[in-house]
């Protein structure tokens, strides 16, 4: 396994409306554990489309790991279309651009701004096809945007590594017990 697509719910799907929300630190903690496990299995590239939420938090985790114990891993950002951040508020755009400069590879799948939902479908198919596995924060009982990646991954028989809300809650409890 070389390249892993990292995805999950968008911020609003989690009920998170700013990045200082307590839950973000626990999501990042679980992402870190899972990404390290994948590195130890041979993954070297971690790819996202840069969506608000889990994908951007994964970008932070990969960047932090590059700066500490895993300088050889790579972060790829493949947006569905150009200027995907154009409708986000100013603070979210700033954070996105801070993350963008830390990526090792940045490109847009569609070389045009948003035109229609087909661009999102193409992005889902392209990213799953070009990666070896999918790491996703998702719960089957709570549908959301990650289901589109999962459906493509299943159709292509790609490995899917699910992170459940229960895993995040368990990490939170363990971390709090350590204090």
The 10s digit of each residue's pLDDT in 63-72 is 999 999 999 9
Instruction: Assign domain 3-177 one CATH number from 3.40.50.450, 3.30.43.10, 3.40.640.10, 3.90.1150.10.
Output: 3.40.50.450
* Placement of tokens 């700033």 in the chain: 94
Q: What is the pLDDT of residue 29?
A: 96
Contacts of 9 (CB under 8 A, 6+ apart): 53, 54, 137, 138, 144, 145, 146
pLDDT at site 179: 65
pLDDT band for position 1 (cuts 50, 70, 90): confident
Domain assignments of the chain as residue spans, ordered by start: 3-177
pLDDT tens digits, 46-93: 999 999 999 999 999 999 999 999 999 999 999 999 999 999 999 999
More confident residue, 1 or 130: 130
pTM (predicted TM-score): 0.96
Average pLDDT over residues 154-167: 96
123: nearest Cα among 72, 60, 47, 61: 47
Nearest to 145 by CA among 60, 53, 61: 53
Q: Strand locations in the chain, DSSP E?
A: 3-8, 45-48, 74-81, 105-110, 133-137, 160-163
Distance between CA atoms of 177 and 99, rounded to whole angstroms?
A: 31
Confidence (pLDDT) at 120: 96
Residue 25's contacts (CB-CB under 8 Å, 6 or more residues apart) are: none
Whether the predicted pLDDT of 177 surpasses 90: no
10 beta partners: 53
């Amino acid at each position: 396994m070389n390249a892993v697509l990292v995805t999950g719910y968008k911020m609003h799907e989690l009920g998170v409306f700013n990045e200082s929300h307590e839950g973000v630190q626990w999501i990042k903690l679980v992402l870190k554990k899972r990404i390290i496990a994948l590195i130890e299995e041979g993954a070297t590239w971690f790819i996202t489309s840069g969506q608000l939420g889990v994908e951007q938090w994964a970008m932070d985790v990969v960047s932090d790991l590059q700066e500490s114990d895993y300088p050889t891993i790579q972060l790829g950002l493949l947006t569905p279309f150009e200027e995907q951040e154009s409708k986000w508020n100013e603070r979210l755009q700033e954070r996105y651009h801070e993350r963008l400069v830390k990526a090792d590879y940045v490109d847009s799948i569609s070389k045009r701004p948003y035109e229609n939902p087909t661009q999102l479908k193409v992005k889902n198919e392209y990213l799953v096809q070009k990666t070896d596995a999918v790491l996703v924060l998702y719960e089957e009982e709570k549908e959301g945007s990650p289901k589109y990646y999962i459906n493509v991954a299943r159709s292509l028989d790609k490995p899917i590594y699910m992170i459940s809300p229960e895993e995040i809650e368990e990490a939170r409890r363990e971390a709090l017990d350590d204090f």
